[in-house]
Amino acid sequence: MNRSWMAALALALPGLAQAQPAAETLLHLSADGSVQAAPDQLVADLVAQSTSPAASDAQRRVNALVAQGMQSARAVSGIDARAVGYQVSPADEKRTQWLAQQTLELRGSDGPALLDLANRLQQLGFVTASLDWRLSPTLRRKAYAEATTAALKALREQAASAAATLGLHVDHLKDVQLQQPMAGMLRPVMSMAARVGGPAPQATAAPEEVAAQVSAEVVLRP
Asked if pLDDT for residue 181 goes beyond 90, the answer is no
96-108 pLDDT per residue, tens: 999 999 999 999 9
99-132 pLDDT per residue, tens: 999 999 999 999 999 999 999 999 999 999 999 9
Cα 212 to Cα 154: distance, rounded to the nearest angstrom: 11
Whether residue 192 is contained in a domain is answered as: yes
User: In this predicted structure, what is the pLDDT of residue 20?
Assistant: 53
Range of the domain at 127: 41-134
Asked whether residue 145 falls in the same domain as residue 180, the answer is: yes
Asked whether residue 168 falls in the same domain as residue 197, the answer is: yes
Whether residue 12 is contained in a domain is answered as: no
Asked whether residue 148 falls in the same domain as residue 184, the answer is: yes
CATH number at residue 164: 3.30.110
* DSSP characters over 170-209: EEEEEEEEEE-PPPSPPPPPPPHHHHTT-PPP------EE
Asked whether residue 168 falls in the same domain as residue 220, the answer is: yes
Asked if pLDDT for residue 193 goes beyond 90, the answer is no
pLDDT band per the 50, 70, 90 thresholds, residue 158: very high
* C-alpha radius of gyration, the chain, whole number: 31
Asked if pLDDT for residue 21 goes beyond 70, the answer is no
Whether residue 97 is contained in a domain is answered as: yes
User: In this predicted structure, what is the pLDDT of residue 10?
Assistant: 46
50-86 pLDDT per residue, tens: 999 999 999 999 999 999 999 999 999 999 999 999 9
User: In this predicted structure, what is the pLDDT of residue 41?
Assistant: 95
Number of domains within the chain: 2
Asked whether residue 153 falls in the same domain as residue 48, the answer is: no
Instruction: Out of 134, 149, 164, pick the residue that ends a domain.
Output: 134
